Structure 1
Amino acid sequence: MGVTRRFVEAADLTGLVREAFGTVRRLDQVVRLRGGSKKGVYRLLFDDDSTAILYVWNEAENYWPEVAADLGTGAVDPFADASDLGLFEAASEHLGAIGVRTPRVYLTDRSRRHHPADLALVEEVHGGTLEALLRRDPEAARPALTELAAALTAMGGRHSARLGKLTLVDRARQGDPTSEQIVLERALRDLESAATRVQRLANVRERLADTLRGWSAVVPPRTGYGLIHGELGPDHVLLDDRGRPVLIDIEGLMYFDQEWEHAFLELRFGEHYHWLRGSDLDEDRLRFYRLAMHLSLVAGPLRLLDGDFPDRELMAGIAEHNTGRILRLLG
């Protein structure tokens, strides 16, 4: 039986708005924004022409089928689907501490007095996405790209001996799988899932599995990790009124390998990636992570399409694009 999806309405938020802003603003309209698959994102429009963004975490807003979050060794999988207010708060705090801009938080609420969900009311950043600016005027985007590169360096410089999402990293312990072991096991699962749905991948399943194992085998061991966003595409970078980058969708922030971050950056920023490339990336690890990343971007969107996610054409396109990339990498 599918989830009954009850979305936020203006009447739910009267008390929340009063807690955040007192009586100086009255809520006029609530608009649900497209694209979110794990949390709801709403624009709130007020009577003084100001706006804010509301994040909503509950089952009704999460389109992902439930999956196990355990790796079989007792270790917590850092890639398991996870999006909640606690992760958002921890990520906002960590990034703010190293000078990386995220939307200002006006109020968070776990009481469920206003709506049956955890809520965060944050500023709306009005400068549009870095993706839109790169498409419109790449030259004008250079200062933002330079500042984003500095943010990535600052994040990579925040070290931990243990890996994992911020609210789970303290549960890591000696003997847990290493980052490359986690990526390999996840990639093999993604391959099995994708191959049952995409015949072109089923045709080369064994070659892909052998390639994953071979490429992972030459990756040197690592015991320290930096902060990564995990899905830092140009659509997850907003620009403020001074053109500074503002990171959003930050709940996946974790301690992990920079190469995983850069495999995604390289994919999403394309010809503009050279502005962001790090100087100390391990090429063997990066090659292995590229292939694993593409497999995750086939299996994940196809798994999402098992449910009632509304933007189906987008997810199908992501899976198709990454299938092509996998086959090109395989040669």
Structure 2
Amino acid sequence: MSRAFLQLEDLHDFAAAQFGSERRLIRVDRLTGGTKKGVYRLHLDDATTVILYVWAPDESYWPTSSVVPDDPFTDASGSELFAVSHAALTAAGVRVPRLLTMDREGRHLGTDIALVEDVGSLRLETVMETDPARAAGLLTDLGATLGRMHTTTGPRYGKVAEVQHAEERESTSVQRLAEDVIVDRALLHLDLTAAREERLAAAHGQIAAHVRELRAAVRPRQEYGLVHGELGPDHVFVTPAGEPVLIDFEGLAWFDVEWDHAWIEMRFGDRYPDLNPVALDPDRMALYRYAQVLSLIEGPLRIADTDFPDRDWMLWLAGLNIEKALAAVAPL
């Protein structure tokens, strides 16, 4: 498909309304890496920059797919999710890009947008690769941030915006256990991927049995913290002042903190202990680790069917996790 991304001329009226006659927009760079929304750096003639988020159909590469109805980690994109999640993280003392303005009525560009502080281009993953000593201090700070998130608790699980709406309606609906949602999610991902991957089809029964065996070891618990959902060192920027700043948090949810840590442990590798994680349930961690392996097959295979520009990387990621999924059920 042919995608229409914003160009400099598309933003003149918006820039004039936002910055007045004192500052002029002189360049627009569309930043790469995002799959759900457009991210643009706006350069002004006084040498300052800001970041523009754009939620428009042409900016998302994700095709629709079957989902588990009460899975809080589906469709994690949109301006309302951004606004509510930004407010929740700010209230929890988490450093995120400062929100400058939002337009959720399409007044300027015909779609939802947000203008936020530009915190720079330095990602934590780059510091971890090039300056391990400096990374140690940043990881300590990030760990403290995660500690604040994961010890901020709520009575229900779900996307932060959805839980807020339920509280406003004084909803008392009974939720099933979070771990059962994850089991259904994992088995759905298995079904979807087995339909297109012969090795997974051959091992379908073993993998499904392994998921259920992991679930059987999990003891019931209903205590939920704020979880990012897909936090890696690429989702943390480092400001010139040395502050770690979280981005891509529209999927913020109240959920088992082990869901966050299963992902974070995978993404931070041998530097994960530097984050000084909170106490975790090992059985819940084991289930969530494996569920995320299956997720990292289904998602990359689905997006690889689109015109996503880095299709080969998505196929590599899916292949890596196919090997992990099969290794867990391979005979000793």
TM-score normalised per structure 1: 0.93
Q: 54, 57, 65: which one pairs with 1:56?
A: 54
The residue that corresponds to 1:9 in the other structure is 7
Q: 1:321 corresponds to which residue?
A: 320
Distance in 2 separating the partners of 1:277 and 1:320? 31
Deviation at 1:303, TM superposition (A): 0.9
**CA offsets per residue over residues 212-271 of structure 1, 9 Å max, x none?**
011101101111200000010000000011211000001000000111101101111111
Structure 1 counterpart of 2:63: 65
What is the distance in 1 between the residues matched to 2:66 and 2:16? 39
Q: Aligned with 1:45: secondary structure? A: strand
The yes-or-no answer on 1:78 pairing with 2:78 is no
Alpha-carbon contact 2:140-2:276 (below 8 Å) kept: no
Runs of 5+ in structure 2 lacking a partner? none
Superposed, which structure 2 residues align to 1:1-331 within 5 Å? Answer: 5-67=3-65, 71=69, 76-126=70-120, 128-169=122-163, 170-171=165-166, 173-331=172-330
Q: How far, CA to CA, are the matches of 1:18 and 1:97 in structure 2?
A: 32
Contact 1:128/1:239 (8 A) holds in 2: yes
Greater CA deviation, 244-253 or 46-55?
Answer: 46-55
Is contact 2:71–2:185 with CA below 8 Å preserved after alignment?
no
Alpha-carbon displacement from aligned partner over 1:135-190 (angstroms, at most 9, x marks no partner) = 11111111110011111110011111110111112447533222101100000011
SS of 1:330 mapped into structure 2: coil
Following superposition, the deviation at residue 87 of structure 1 comes to 0.7
Whole-angstrom CA distance in 2 between matches of 1:104 and 1:283: 36
Q: Which runs of 5+ in 1 are unaligned?
A: none
Partner Cα distance (1:54, 1:14) in 2: 13
Q: Distance in 2 between matches of 1:273 and 1:54?
A: 31
1:22 shift after superposition: 2.3
Counterparts in 2 of 1:285 and 1:279: CA distance versus 1, 3 Å: same
Looking at structure 1, the residues matched to 278 and 83 of structure 2 have their Cα atoms a distance apart, in angstroms, of 30
What is the identity, as a one-letter code, of the residue corresponding to 1:23? S
User: How far is the alpha carbon of 1:69 from its aligned partner?
Assistant: 5.5
| Amino acid in the other structure paired with 2:8 | A
Mapped to 1, the partners of 2:20 and 2:222 lie a distance apart of 49
The residue identity in structure 1 corresponding to 2:216 is: A
Q: Which runs of 4+ in 1 moved over 4 A?
A: none
Query: Is contact 1:127-1:241 (8 Å) kept?
Result: no
Whole-Å separation in 2 of the counterparts to 1:275 and 1:186: 30
For the residues of structure 2 that align with 1:27 and 1:66, how far apart are their CA atoms? Answer: 36
| 2:233 and 2:268 in contact (8 A); partners too | yes
- Spell out, residue by residue over 1:17-61, the C-alpha distance to the aligned partner (whole angstroms, 9 max, x if none): 233322222111111111111101111111122211111002111
RMSD across aligned C-alpha pairs, in angstroms?
A: 1.6
Question: What is the number of equivalent residue pairs in this alignment?
Answer: 325
1:191 CA drift (Å): 0.7
> Would you say the 8 A contact 2:8–2:27 is kept in 1?
yes
Supply the distance in 2 between the matched residues of 1:147 and 1:183 (Cα, whole angstroms).
30
> How big is the shift at 1:127?
5.3
Q: CA deviation at 1:277?
A: 4.6
**Could you tell which deviates more after superposition, 300-309 or 193-202?**
193-202
Once the two structures are overlaid, the 10-residue window that deviates more, 278-287 or 229-238, is: 278-287
**Partner SS, residue 207 of structure 2:** helix
Q: Displacement of 1:116 after TM fit? A: 2.4
Kindly provide the amino acid, as one letter, of the partner of residue 35 in structure 1. G
